[in-house]
């Protein structure tokens, strides 16, 4: 009833090709952006900014990066955390070693550095596929972390290998408060998400999907495999690199190589699996699910236990939290193997027919 496109006529090609061809979607997205940029900063508390919203956006960006590689181009990767590490350390080095380097430029350079490293580790993808490629990217994961630990130059000769990031200052404005950092991250993530959405709708994205679906067929119709695959690795690593730089600068403020472990790579992989492989919105939904659900359970379970007078101590609650979390992942994957994004799509289709489904 509310979500129906009857009467919306597209009379130009531009109108037909826009990202959100349905008016309700456009209004919805506008409202969402308004909420994110204006309403949330006006009302949210510091805890929400630093512990929930900022990390959510950063991980959504990393998941988006992996989704481009795995979801659209079909190249399985287990090295996302390592590419984040490259981004974080590159941004730090550009910032510390080059006098007067603007922060935004060092973020972009960090992304480019990460893209370069990504291309390097993407080379095996020209010969190997599927699970074997996953193992090859695993090498990236271990090599990069080892490299950052091994060479003190990369951490500016810090005796412990831990780097502590300088503050963010853009055009004389100090991004010190959690609110301003959230807005900075939100702006960057929105722009990159928009770029990603357009990229996957363009020739590049179609080439990626063709390679994903069947690379021999793609090659036969004239898509250059090497270029396409390496471009996917480059773009994906660029996104992960920027996410890593934001993770270091705007979220933790201090990072060590061990923080970018295989665990983190898996976490990002789970985000896109739960959220939806090959979907932009899925990256956001997946990041929200994997990141926010444990926090919600953590807050809600002790309260619920107290309410029901169950004798749970802190350790038991933590264990229950892990179990519930695991059970929910399985539940969602059984109900909808294509992830939360697919659920969202089904919901939209149902809404179009509602209230007369037959």
Q: Which of residues 100-159 bind another protein (CB under 8 A)?
A: 146, 149, 159
Quick one: 40 or 51, whose CB is closer to another protein? 51
Q: Judged by CB under 8 A, does residue 180 bind another protein?
A: no
**Residue 226, Cα to own-chain centre: how many angstroms?**
25
Q: Of these, 10, 224, 319, 350, which contacts another protein (CB under 8 A)?
A: 319
> What dihedral angle (degrees, nearest 10) is formed by the CA atoms of 130, 132, 138, 143?
-130
Q: Judged by CB under 8 A, does residue 50 bind another protein?
A: yes
With both helix axes pointing from N to C terminus, report the angle between 340-353 and 262-275 in degrees, rounded to the nearest 10.
20
Q: Judged by CB under 8 A, does residue 160 bind another protein?
A: yes
Q: Is 169 left (phi over 0), alpha (psi -120 to 50) or beta?
A: beta
Quick one: 28 or 167, whose CB is closer to another protein? 167
Q: Judged by CB under 8 A, does residue 24 bind another protein?
A: no
Q: Judged by CB under 8 A, does residue 79 bind another protein?
A: no
Q: How far is the CB of 307 from another protein (least distance, A)?
A: 4
- The DSSP string of 251-316 is IISEE-GGGS-HHHHHHHHHHHHHH-TT-HHHHHHHHHHHHHHHHHHHHHHHHHHHHTT----HHH
Q: Of these, 7, 153, 314, 355, which contacts another protein (CB under 8 A)?
A: 314
Q: How far is the CB of 250 from another protein (least distance, A)?
A: 12
User: What binding mask, one character per residue, do residues 29-48 give for another protein by CB under 8 A, x or -?
Assistant: ----------------xxx-
Would you say the C-alpha torsion 309, 47, 248, 296 has a positive or negative sign? positive
Q: Judged by CB under 8 A, does residue 303 bind another protein?
A: yes
Burial zone of 83 (CB within 10 Å; 0-12 exposed, 13-18 middle, 19+ buried): buried
Q: Of these, 32, 306, 330, 347, which contacts another protein (CB under 8 A)?
A: 306
3-state secondary structure of 357: coil
Quick one: 132 or 142, whose CB is closer to another protein? 142
For the chain, give the longest Cα–Cα distance. Answer: 69
262 CB-near residues (< 8 Å, 6+ apart):
78, 81, 138, 141, 142
Q: Which of residues 334-353 bind another protein (CB under 8 A)?
A: none
Q: How far is the CB of 325 from another protein (least distance, A)?
A: 12
β strands within the chain, DSSP E:
163-164, 169-170, 173-174, 254-255
Q: How far is the CB of 161 from another protein (least distance, A)?
A: 5
Quick one: 96 or 108, whose CB is closer to another protein? 96
Q: Judged by CB under 8 A, does residue 246 bind another protein?
A: no
Q: How far is the CB of 162 from another protein (least distance, A)?
A: 5
Which neighbouring-strand residues pair with 174? 169
Q: Judged by CB under 8 A, does residue 21 bind another protein?
A: no
Would you say the C-alpha torsion 319, 321, 322, 328 has a positive or negative sign? positive
Q: Judged by CB under 8 A, does residue 282 bind another protein?
A: no
Q: Judged by CB under 8 A, does residue 99 bind another protein?
A: no
Q: Judged by CB under 8 A, does residue 161 bind another protein?
A: yes
* b (16+ CB within 10 A) / e for 14-38: eeeeeeeeeebeeeeeeeeeeebee
Q: Judged by CB under 8 A, does residue 252 bind another protein?
A: yes
How far apart are alpha carbons 345 and 103 in whole angstroms? 38
- Name the residues that contact another protein, by CB under 8 A: 45-47, 50-52, 55, 96, 146, 149, 159-162, 164, 166-167, 176, 251-256, 258-259, 295, 298-307, 313-315, 317-319, 321-322
């Amino acid at each position: 009833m509310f979500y129906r496109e009857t009467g919306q006529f597209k009379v130009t090609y531009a109108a037909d090709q826009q990202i959100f061809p349905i008016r309700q979607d456009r209004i919805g997205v506008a409202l969402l952006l308004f909420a994110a940029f204006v309403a949330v900063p006006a009302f949210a508390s510091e805890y929400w900014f630093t512990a929930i919203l900022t990390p959510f956006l950063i991980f959504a960006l990393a998941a988006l990066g992996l989704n481009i590689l795995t979801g659209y181009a079909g190249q399985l990767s287990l090295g996302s955390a390592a590419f984040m590490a490259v981004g974080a350390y590159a941004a730090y080095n550009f910032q510390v070693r080059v006098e007067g380097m603007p922060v935004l430029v060092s973020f972009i350079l960090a992304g480019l550095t990460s893209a370069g490293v990504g291309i390097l580790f993407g080379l095996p993808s020209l010969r190997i596929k599927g699970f074997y490629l996953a193992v090859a990217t695993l090498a990236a994961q271990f090599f990069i972390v080892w490299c950052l630990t091994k060479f003190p130059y990369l951490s500016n000769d810090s005796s412990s290998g831990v780097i502590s990031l300088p503050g963010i200052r853009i055009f004389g404005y100090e991004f010190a408060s959690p609110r301003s950092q959230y807005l900075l991250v939100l702006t960057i993530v929105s722009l990159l998400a928009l770029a990603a959405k357009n990229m996957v709708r363009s020739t590049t994205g179609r080439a990626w999907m063709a390679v994903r679906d069947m690379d021999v067929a793609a090659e036969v119709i004239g898509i250059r495999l090497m270029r396409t695959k390496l471009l996917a690795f480059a773009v994906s690593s660029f996104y992960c690199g920027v996410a890593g730089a934001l993770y270091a600068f705007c979220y933790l403020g201090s990072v060590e190589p061990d923080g970018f472990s295989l665990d983190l790579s898996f976490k990002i992989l789970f985000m896109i699996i739960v959220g939806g492989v090959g979907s932009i919105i899925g990256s956001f939904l997946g990041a929200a699910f994997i990141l926010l659900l444990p926090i919600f359970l953590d807050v809600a379970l002790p309260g619920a236990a107290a309410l029901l007078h169950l004798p749970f101590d802190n350790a038991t609650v933590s264990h229950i939290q892990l179990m519930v979390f695991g059970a929910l992942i399985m539940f969602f994957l059984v109900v909808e193997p294509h992830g939360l994004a697919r659920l969202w799509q089904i919901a939209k289709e149902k809404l179009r027919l509602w209230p007369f489904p037959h």
